[in-house]
Amino acid sequence: MKTHLITIIIALLTGYIAGYMGGYMGSVSSLDNLSKSDTSSNSSENRLNPFQLSTASENLEYQIEALQYKTETLQKQLSSVIDKQENLHQKNSEEPIENKTKSNSSANKKNLIASGITPDVAEDILRRMSQQDFRRLELQNLIQRSDANARREYSKELRELNSNKISLRSEIGDDAYDQYLFVSGQNNRVKVSSVMAGSPAEASGFQSDDVILYYDNQKILSWPDIRAATIEGEIGSYTNVEILRDGQQMSLMVPRGSLGVQLDALQINPEQ
């Protein structure tokens, strides 16, 4: 069931992106044809109005931003579904009904408090995140229904909002966020499921079931952390990777770039 669910979600995500990009490329093609028509004709009637070109470009820019935001949202939803499916066997199927009906905000606040965050701080963070989400939806609606001048201003605000998105991890710090993931029943570690032949990981001594704790002193809680860490720094230079192997913590030196490992997500109590 897990495999079918993930396949369906990925197919929906792929179809959505393909359809959206098809529309985008069609718009680009239309602009290109208009530009060519302008170049090939010397009559003022066939020339492309600069205002029309500016408006069309703004529309394309907004479409790209909307696609990026919606893709990010779908990726988060997919990651959440995968995590829940992987942890399903650890939970009691006879969970009390009252626990299942609690709102996400209440559950998040409770888990934040269990992670060491004070109630006032937890409530403030969750409220600001909710306000930001609402404003993002509001701006998308306003952009769709506004004229060109107003759309330009709303698009600018939306870009600024997305670039300053509130992150729970940055708000409470790596250690508290690590504990929050654990008490929320989410995965908070990645382990090596296999090492690719001829890869830097093989040469550096990685083994299956190694749990990656830090990469270049950056705490690793999920596979996106690994992806982000391995694209930093200069190719050919070396950095350290802290791993947990058979209960013992050890350090490996690896060249920057792709490690050459396949990863699985898992849940570990940070306090152990």
Nearest Cα residue to 126 out of 103, 109, 102, 107:
109
- 143 within a domain of the structure (yes/no): yes
- The tokens of 43 are what? 């009559």
- Model confidence over 9-28: pLDDT tens digits? 555 555 555 554 444 444 44
- 83 within a domain of the structure (yes/no): yes
CATH of the domain at 224: 2.30.42.10
Beta-bridge mates of residue 214:
219, 242
Tokens 């997919």 label which residue? 78
Number of domains in the chain: 3
- 120 within a domain of the structure (yes/no): yes
**How far separated are the first and last CA of the chain, in Å rounded?**
32
- 271 within a domain of the structure (yes/no): no
- Model confidence over 67-107: pLDDT tens digits? 666 666 666 566 555 555 544 443 433 333 333 333 445 55
- 68 within a domain of the structure (yes/no): yes
User: Is it the case that residue 3 has pLDDT exceeding 90?
Assistant: no
Based on the domain organization, do 71 and 137 belong to the same domain?
no
Higher pLDDT pick, 122 / 90: 122
Q: Is 269 left (phi over 0), alpha (psi -120 to 50) or beta?
A: beta
pLDDT given at position 235: 87
pTM for the full model? 0.62
Buried b (16+ CB within 10 A) or exposed e, 212-227: bbbbbeebbbbbebbe
* R_g of the chain computed on alpha carbons: 24
Instruction: Check: CB of residue 265 under 8 Å from CB of residue 192.
Output: no
Higher pLDDT pick, 145 / 66: 145
- Model confidence over 244-258: pLDDT tens digits? 999 999 999 999 999
Based on the domain organization, do 204 and 129 belong to the same domain?
no
Based on the domain organization, do 124 and 200 belong to the same domain?
no
Domain that holds residue 107: 103-185
Query: Average pLDDT, whole number, for the chain?
Result: 77
